[in-house]
Amino acid sequence: MLAAGRCQRPDCGLAGVHQYVALAASDTTKKLIHAYKYQHKRVVSKTLAGLVARQLPQLAQPGYCLCPIPPSNHHVRQRGFSHTGLLVRQLARQYRLPRCHILQRHGSTQQVGAGRAARFRQQHGAYTVRQARLRRYQGYHYVLVDDVMTTGATMQAAVAALQSAGVEPGNISLLAIMHQPLG
């Protein structure tokens, strides 16, 4: 595991939420993620899930469920699949945990190439919670899964949606396969 922790800044939109980054931003990790997302090599999801499960065995907890952070509909159409949805399916098999698709994405934004301020502005209000699905998984600890964390804007928007629906920060964890800071 590369990193784990909680944001301690009072102005942090992720305060109280446990965060995990599974893999270092090595050339190999970047190539795997690129092949998966942009060359549509779905089989790579199995490799990534296996690597994550080996790095973060502590996520295999009773009462945890894995929640993909949904990509825009445009990206799903472009790729022919939801890269986070497929990744969560593979992680769920590795961890023997349920999948809970509780977030819904609104709008279509281009994060690649956008600066920090633009990313936060674009992601504000990008997600809502599917209430019926949230009720089905009431009492679970929600592990929100995305492939790459850059500024944290996407994760912060997803957490804000869950908190607006009444989920306490202590019942949310974030899992990014890789952290790739802007720069």
Contact 162, 69 (CB under 8 A): no
pLDDT digits over 106-126, tens only? 866 665 665 656 655 665 667
Place 1 in a pLDDT band, splitting at 50, 70 and 90. very low
In the chain, where are the structural domains located?
A: 19-179
Q: Residue 35 belongs to what H/E stretch?
A: helix 27-38
Q: What is the pLDDT of residue 151?
A: 77
Looking up tokens 């949606």 gives: 161
Mean pLDDT of all residues in 96-103:
97
CA-to-CA dists, residue 36 to 39, 144, 166, 175, 183, angstroms: 6, 19, 34, 17, 23
Q: Residue 167 belongs to what H/E stretch?
A: none
Q: What is the pTM of this model?
A: 0.86
Please indicate whether residue 7 or residue 43 has the higher confidence score (pLDDT): 43
CATH 3.40.1130 assigned to 19-179: no
pLDDT digits over 126-154, tens only? 789 999 999 999 999 999 999 888 777 88
